[in-house]
Amino acid sequence: MLRWPFPQTQLTAGELRLERWDTHKHADLLWRALEDPAVWQFAPKGAPADITELTRRLGKRPGGRDRITWVVFQGDEVIGTTSHFRAGEDVEIGASYMAPQTWSTGMNLRVKRIMVDAARENGCAGIVLRADDADVRANKAIQRIGAEFTHKCGEQMLRPDGTRRVSRFYHLDNDTVL
């Protein structure tokens, strides 16, 4: 049975540390780490206009899905954010945005492993992941952890260019070794 919300306030693996989102502690650091517009290329609504909008996007929305937002540190440097979402007895991992200097370094894979381990430790039935169909890099990263493609779905959300987002969904069983 899924234990939600997770009791952990920090997840670690070597020099990587994920801390639970705290607006007062993390907003400025995360805003600076993710200021490159390329980070937000496939984000619904595009790049946040300011730190207030970033904070609103990372927080719990009224009527929104149950979410645990994490800030990703490498040593003492903030390098991104990611989230766990409750999806029944499964856990979805998503809303992952990493600083460009981490791209193509294997960092996203390492962060996903920490996230998967935490979800499994808290009793999830399985892991769900999704990525914009147009985001080749994100889809490859999800496939690298062994998640299996399940289906595509047109979403209600729009891309920054006004087109409807099409998401590719993946599932990772608990017996898949990372």
Domain ranges of the chain: 10-127
Q: Which residues contact 80 (CB under 8 A, 6 or more apart)?
A: 30, 33, 34, 71, 72, 96, 97, 98, 99, 102, 111
> Against a cut of 0.85, is the pTM above it?
yes
Residues in the chain, total: 178
Q: Which residues contact 52 (CB under 8 A, 6 or more apart)?
A: none
Instruction: For 49-79, write each residue's pLDDT tens digit.
Output: 999 999 999 987 777 789 999 999 999 999 9
- State the average pLDDT for the chain: 94
Fold of 10-127: Aminopeptidase (3.40.630)
Q: Which pLDDT belongs to residue 129?
A: 97
